[in-house]
Amino acid sequence: MNRKLFVLSLLLVFSLILAACGSPAPAATDAPEVPAATDAPAATEAPAATEAPAAGPVVLKYASSANITTWDPIASFSTEAAYMANMYEQLLRVNAPGSAELFTPLLAESWEKSEDGLVWTFHLREGVKFHDGEPMNAEAVKKSIEAAKDHAGASFIWLPLDTVEATDELTVVFTLKWAQPLELIVGSEYAAYIVSPKALDAAAADENYWSAGVEAGTGPYMLESYTADQEIVLTQNPEYWGGWEEGQYEKVLVTIVPEATTRQQLLEGGEVDLVTSVPADAFATFEANSDYTTSLEPALFNYTAFFNTLKAPLDDPKVRQALSYAIPYEDIIAIGANGRGTQSRGPVPAGVFPYSDDVPQYNYDIEKAKSLLAEAGHEGGGFSLKLTYASENSTEETFAPLIKDSFAQIGVDVTIEALEFTQQWELAKTDPATAQDIFLLLYWPTYSDAGADNMWSMFYGNPENPGNLNATKFNLSYWMNEDYNALVDEAGGLSGTDLDASLAKYTEAQTLLVDQAPAAFLFDTMVAFVVPNHVEGFKYNLNYPDVRFWFYDLRPAK
């Protein structure tokens, strides 16, 4: 189907659905013609007054690139979070950096922790019901968290959890094996939703329970209908504990539109109110248009180039440092990311704990790179490296040649190989001796603690077997440093009781990491938003990278 026909098809879909939802009052038109006189008898009584047609629901139309991989809120670990977060709730929400308060209470009204950071008590909101009518209480929270720990897509976030107990109807007590900032875990984008016990029991009895498109949350919106790969309709939860104001969107019509150019056309044509994103080269057009508000925001995602530290000459830190100086960071951001990025400081994205401006960076310095190679016994380079990237990642495809061209200036030949991510991953897991030399990776923390995730997952070493990826799954450099391990362990232990002391230790660990350069830290990404002025209330929160819009916050502009 060509693009024009595709757009026309979407317009037809919108028309049919809006009609089904109840059409809004028609726009004013010229007065209709008076019909010609007939021989019908004159009326003896004035006709009865008729009521004006009722206005239809206030509908938010959203063209989204985010598809559904599962409707199971426990298994969910992908882009369906864009919708899940509007139907399900956690105990609390982590607020955007710079907010007056760190957290927003959701299903928990308040909470406290023991002095040692091992016991956390949450006091639940009274009178909340799930969409299926079941009461939200302490037993429901316990059942949801235990299910998440057992088989969630991101179950690893619950590794510190020892037990969760319902001590009364509205009180839940978490006991940890080691101190952690539990607010960040219970507020995670994944594996932290509280789900109706009735639905969890149904899913346990029927593995296909969620597949038809059902949900059982407590959030402001409920799932009205779903057509796979095409359309999602959400409707207000009339019993939402947060209440409703006049003018809030009563329904949300989501159309799955993978192509960014088509999303742009629908937005410009006024056929949708919001889009996930527009093509990068179209952003400036919207910036210049006073009918839209645009912004570039920091994101949790960052790019890293892992060096295979078990293969010569990359087993020498000076060689890795030289290569780090030979990477054209500014060009990579300008060309590979269309300017939407900032150079990374280690593996922790800006704005997320434990990011620190004190962590050093490499700058692009070809002469310094040549000097370090000479000190390492490789004057003029003289060796070859294989770099792999995920073929489905167009950003990596764009900037990988920039690394190749720059390394050529120091005498290092790079062969680039595009592989599907699963193939790239399998190559890294087989045998470090035959694996790639450089592995490009886009990574982001599962919840808002990049110390417990990024720093541990990507660089914590296995002292017994450095080549064993199963130690952390993402240590793609195979690097093992006992001092780094000890600092990360100490920092993690402090994070549940003293965040400042934890940050200091994490910063020390990141400084060591940058110095030893098991990877080159390329850039933190940015996300672009284009919001028409007829939609108000948009708030960006980088702690939830797959949730572009919180529909409950949005209003039609007055």
Tens digits of per-residue pLDDT, 124-168? 999 999 999 999 999 999 999 999 999 999 999 999 999 999 999
**Tokens of residue 246, six digits:** 């006049």
Residue 171 CA to residue 140 CA, distance in Å, equals 11
36 lies in some domain: no
15 lies in some domain: no
Q: What is the pLDDT of residues 518-558, one digit of tens each?
A: 999 999 999 999 999 999 999 999 999 999 999 999 999 98
376 and 427 housed in the same domain: yes
Question: Is the Cβ–Cβ distance between 389 and 415 less than 8 Å?
Answer: no
Residue with tokens 């790639």, as numbered in its chain? 436
Predicted pLDDT of residue 56: 66
Residue 29 has pLDDT above 60, yes or no: no
Range of the domain at 257: 3-7+55-78+202-295+528-556
455 and 341 housed in the same domain: yes
248 and 274 housed in the same domain: yes
223 and 145 housed in the same domain: no
13 lies in some domain: no
CATH number of the domain where residue 536 is located: 3.40.190.10
Question: Is the Cβ–Cβ distance between 468 and 477 less than 8 Å?
Answer: no
Residue 347 CA to residue 354 CA, distance in Å, equals 10
Residue 38 has pLDDT above 70, yes or no: no
Q: Find the length of the chain.
A: 558
Q: What is the pLDDT of residues 384-394, one digit of tens each?
A: 999 999 999 99
Alpha-helical (H) ranges within 31-157 are 81-87, 138-151
283 and 240 housed in the same domain: yes
Average pLDDT score over residue span 268-294 = 96
181 and 212 housed in the same domain: no
DSSP tag of 95: P
Task: Transcribe 146-191 into DSSP letters.
Answer: HHHHHH-TTGGGGTTEEEEEEEETTEEEEEESS---HHHHHT-SSS
Residues ≥6 apart with Cβ < 8 Å to 227: none
Residue 418 CA to residue 391 CA, distance in Å, equals 5
221 and 310 housed in the same domain: no
Q: What is the pLDDT of residues 320-375, one digit of tens each?
A: 999 999 999 999 999 999 999 999 999 999 999 999 999 999 999 999 999 999 99
Q: Can you give 252-299 as a three-state secondary structure string?
A: EEEEECCCHHHHHHHHHCCCCCEECCCCHHHHHHHHCCCCEEEEEEEE
147 and 190 housed in the same domain: yes
14 lies in some domain: no
